[in-house]
Chain A
């Protein structure tokens, strides 16, 4: 853990996101109640939970697309939501994170290249030629073929749209990346490539990633810690720690047949290519082998 300034309170932890006492409600329907959630710098945090438990809504709260009914949200050391309103300059902050929406949310009338250029053109003063080169670079980084750059979203498959969305989220080389079900709807091989890609990018760019996913393979492959949304609150830990949680949903999720299969697949993978992903620090997965 780097002993950098941060927002101290976490006992020397460098927290890039800290949500405290969050309450979200739509009318009388309470989605989150007194929820605490935090993410350390440089980690990949998985976010799971049944459908409709408020995973997307939590992300929307954190990136400032929604105002919570109560609670505080600090992100990158700035307070964006508090009872009296946040104090952060959202315009400045927004450049420092990227978000991949659940269904891509690409601008439908722009080509992929133009979609990626939007944040670059808006927030930087790069010369146009360099901007195009960077667009092409992002297209390649997320594993899209070069021809895809000039296609509009409706001409792409679901998986390609996801990748294009990721490229746009990465356009400004953000510090934090929010992903809402990035591998949902991808074929297993595509999903696996996406995981590998994410791991690569995360270690190369030192990203902090918050990823909503239902994909157990993704959880085992890329997440350092996992937060589970149950009963309007978050339970957090490494997968090994969560397996010891008594909550029935969590038990079912990690120790059910699918969880077991994913875990053994992961073990097999780790046996072959140990330390494939840059083994910086306290790789928490080690504990689960024991």
Chain B
């Protein structure tokens, strides 16, 4: 459809929308000129709203001088016509070429949208949100337990028939959560060892018991710090990644596609990630323990003049093998929790991008929270059984 008239070509920079109001007794004459397009009509909106009939009974709306008209301009014309008619005036449009008349007819179709759904007043809303949040915690706990059951079942199925396991996926995730985490876990564990040794020696020096710094570092790193630091880093970098990956697949309906093909998302998505973390986190913890002790040893040599040999000798006296296992045993438990929450939140993503972000944040917060709560429970448990 090639345009026949030159005037229909809209210039790059439209001229302003102009409105002239003239009165001849009973007749109100509105003359529109310039470009009445989206970019320009804003200026005339208020003037048209405030239009006074002032005793006129007839209105003549002249469009002949309008250079360009688009839907926004047509809408303003149509709205003005409607308002004037409602006030009982007789309105006549002149100078509208057929295409413009067609456009005017088109914009008449507009229907006011119903008001947007109301949001409760701020205080009430806050209360409501609080209640909803509390109820959500309960619901989440319940669902998470159900998901735990589902996962354990899938684990058992895989244990019976190991061929079901997705090996390539497992290896891929092992690399992502294990190997790729080595630098950051090592560095942070080393620094924790340094800090513990420094703070410990500072306090213990008052009693002339600097040598016990080794005991402090050894016990703290092996029992608590090594595994805790590792778990928190892994929750931050891998738990969140699980949620984001699975969540994005959810948004793209990939998870729904799996269901229809007859694949169980728990088998395909959850198990490889869970197993990867179950393997990687204990190994990372062991590595963090070594690095933490190394940090302590370096600090001891530099600040306390305890040479490496006496550090090792003192360490051997201070910690038993049990101390090491007390820490290590927590690693698979934390791994399970982090993977479970990461995958659960990913599968809970609804169909928009915003919820991916929301769920990812929740996964990290919940995982770290649970890791610390579980760590406290472990401490209580150990003190009860006297380890």
Q: Which residues of A contact B (CB under 8 A)?
A: 1-4, 14, 40-44, 76, 92, 95-96, 108-109, 111, 113, 120, 123-127, 129-130, 132-141, 146-147, 149-150, 152-154, 170, 172-173, 175, 200-206, 224, 277-278, 280-283
Contacts and interface: CB of A to CB of B under 8 A. Distances in A.
Interface string B29-49: 000000001110110011000
Nearest to B75: A137
6 contacts: A2-B4, A14-B9, A134-B71, A153-B352, A175-B10, A281-B1
A211 to B, nearest CB: 13
Given A147-B113, A150-B113, A127 B46 contact: yes
B72 to A, nearest CB: 5
B110 interface: yes
Interface string B343-359: 00000001111100000
Interface string B1-28: 1111110111010000000000000000
Contacts of B113: 113, 132, 135-136, 139, 146-147, 149-150
B3 A133 contact: no
B9 A41 contact: yes
Contacts of A175: 10
Contacts of B54: none
B75 A43 contact: no
B103 interface: yes
Contact of B6 (A4, A40, A150, A200): A4
Given A108-B354, A146-B111, A137 B1 contact: no
B349 to A, nearest CB: 11
A173 B117 contact: no
B111 to A, nearest CB: 5
Contact of B110 (A76, A111, A140, A201): A140
A95 B70 CA distance: 14
Nearest to A114: B116
Nearest to A282: B2
A153 to B, nearest CB: 7
Contacts of A141: 71, 106-107, 109-110
A109 B72 CA distance: 26
Interface of B: 1-6, 8-10, 12, 37-39, 41-42, 45-46, 70-72, 75-76, 79, 98-99, 102-103, 106-107, 109-114, 116-117, 251, 350-354
Contact of B109 (A41, A126, A140): A140
Contacts of B351: 108, 154
Given A108-B352, A137-B107, 17 more contacts: A3-B6, A14-B2, A41-B3, A113-B113, A126-B41, A130-B42, A134-B38, A137-B75, A139-B113, A140-B109, A141-B107, A150-B114, A172-B38, A203-B1, A204-B99, A278-B99, A281-B3
A138 B76 CA distance: 14
Contact of B2 (A42, A108, A153, A200): A42
Nearest to A206: B8
Contacts of B79: 133
A2 B72 contact: no
A132 B2 CA distance: 33
A229 to B, nearest CB: 23
Contacts of A280: 1-4
Nearest to A139: B113
Contacts of B251: 108
A282 B98 CA distance: 18
A277 B102 CA distance: 11
A154 B5 CA distance: 43
Given A2-B6, A127-B46, A172-B38, A152 B1 contact: no
Contacts of A42: 1-3, 8
A108 B1 CA distance: 35
Contacts of B38: 120, 124, 126, 134, 172-173
B3 A2 contact: yes
A91 B56 CA distance: 46
A204 B106 contact: yes
Contacts of A113: 113, 116
A138 B74 CA distance: 12
Nearest to B8: A206
A4 B4 contact: no
Given A2-B6, A109-B354, A154-B351, A173 B70 contact: yes
Nearest to A277: B1
A66 to B, nearest CB: 22
Contact of B103 (A126, A152, A205, A277): A205
A203 B99 contact: yes
Contacts of B41: 126, 130
A43 B1 CA distance: 4
Contacts of A203: 1, 99, 102
A197 B38 CA distance: 21
